[in-house]
Amino acid sequence: MTDIHLLVLIHGMWGNPGHLNELERKIREVYSHSGSEDNDTKLDILVPGTIRDDSTYDGIDWGGERVVLEIYAEMEKLEKSSDKVTRFSVTGYSWGGLVARYVIGVLYHKNFFASITAVNFNTIATPHLGFPRFPSFMSGIFSSLGPKLLSRTGEQCWCTDKWSDHDKPLLLVMSDPEFLFYQALALFQTRRIYANAINDVIVPFVTAAIETYDPFLDAQAKELDLVFDSEYKHLLKSFSPHEGPATHQVESRDISSGWWTRAKSRLPPPPVQLMFPLDLLFYLSLPVLLPIGASLVMARFCIASYGSKSRVKLLESNNVEIEDSTTHPLALTSFPPCVRVLEGDNTPSTWEPASKHQPLLTPTQLAIARNLNTLEIEKKVVYLEDASAHGMIMMRDAKRVSKHKQGEGVVRHWADSFVL
């Protein structure tokens, strides 16, 4: 019987297994299925397929339940080949990182780790605090519409839900030191998270890095000492405020002539870069195209959200299987109601001066950060100066979008740091 190290890779919102191709390819390069000369353990990789596309609207919890069933199905398949899972790791990208934290809680509840060693827990650009609100009009709009347009997942990621019988947001429940999700996370030998410092408008630094202050946003922090890892491109070894001439200048985000010059160089995106006079016609038609496009997007969100709410309603009432997804709940209502909110100072730590640019974290989000930071978590900060850092950090669409190849150093660091 061969010992198996099972690695589960979980994609993000609206995602599919193809988004994890580069992670899977790189880890296979480092650890082949044949094992190494001094280690008889083989690596088996599971990329769940039951939480793809619109099913990601169904919530962190229902996504996690589906992944758990796939894990047990994979273990059963391995056992039929006389292989046995003895070690377990999981990596989640974006929303998938939250699903990963839910998954290990359910596994812990089922005594999964009584005979299996928890080794690597990694997240990449994951909103551990949920989605923070910023002091801007657009951020306020998204914070109001998000929980409504993204169904159960939106409610959970904006912490407006009341999960199960506990009457608390799921993300707060998953951070509580006296609850099984936190206890499961504490079992892992390695806990490492990757966060974008800048240019991630979907999952900003504070929520990906589990911090309450963003030094990259403050006007006074435009000049920073950034020390990069010489082996892994775009990975920061350290960063600190600098007095005097800067070794590196953080690009200003203020609306200015310089900002407009940079913005023009990035617009329009490659799919709509047209030759004259087609480019002129395109820009002239924008006043008509933009409202139509916005209406179509809103309609798409509403349809997907309605479908998700209908699925969840059936799942919660009948525990049925819908389409080909494995959706039976695993002890959702049997978890003990031991959730509590830790009391304490809500003052953002680290660098004191407040700024109008800082996120407006809620007491719930501050409590989540405080709870999770009681664990030893290695935090790796990624500095990608180009736009769309959220997909770039893990080379999500490297074959289709060449700029995503800039995340190669991050993916390689993740694979090289993996403990087999």
Global pTM reads: 0.81
- In terms of phi and psi (left: phi > 0; alpha: psi -120 to 50; beta: otherwise), the region of 345 is beta
Tell me: pLDDT of 350 over 50.
no
Burial zone of 86 (CB within 10 Å; 0-12 exposed, 13-18 middle, 19+ buried): middle
Taking alpha carbons only, the member of 34, 61, 31, 15 closest to residue 335 is 61
**For residue 330, pLDDT beyond 90:** no
Comparing 196 with 41, the larger pLDDT belongs to 196
Q: Are 373 and 182 in contact (CB under 8 A)?
A: no
Contacts of residue 349, defined as CB under 8 A and 6 or more positions apart, other chains included, come to 212, 213
Q: Residue 409 in contact with residue 235, Cβ under 8 Å?
A: yes
Mutual orientation of helices 21-30 and 408-417 as an angle, nearest 10°? 50
User: Of 361, 388, 389, whose CA–CA distance to 171 is shortest?
Assistant: 361
Pick from 196-205, 266-275, 287-296, 337-346: least confident? 337-346
Look at 1-5, 194-198, 325-329 and tell me which has the smallest mean pLDDT: 325-329
CA 354 from centroid of its chain's CA atoms: 26
Under the banding of pLDDT at 50, 70 and 90, the label for residue 229 is: very high
pLDDT of the residue at 308? 65
pLDDT band at 118 (very low <50, low <70, confident <90, very high): very high
Residue pLDDT, tens place only, 48-63? 999 987 778 888 998 9
Q: Which residue has the higher pLDDT, 7 or 347?
A: 7
Among candidate residues 418, 416, 412, the one with its CA nearest the CA of residue 393: 412
What percentage of the chain reaches a pLDDT higher than 70?
72
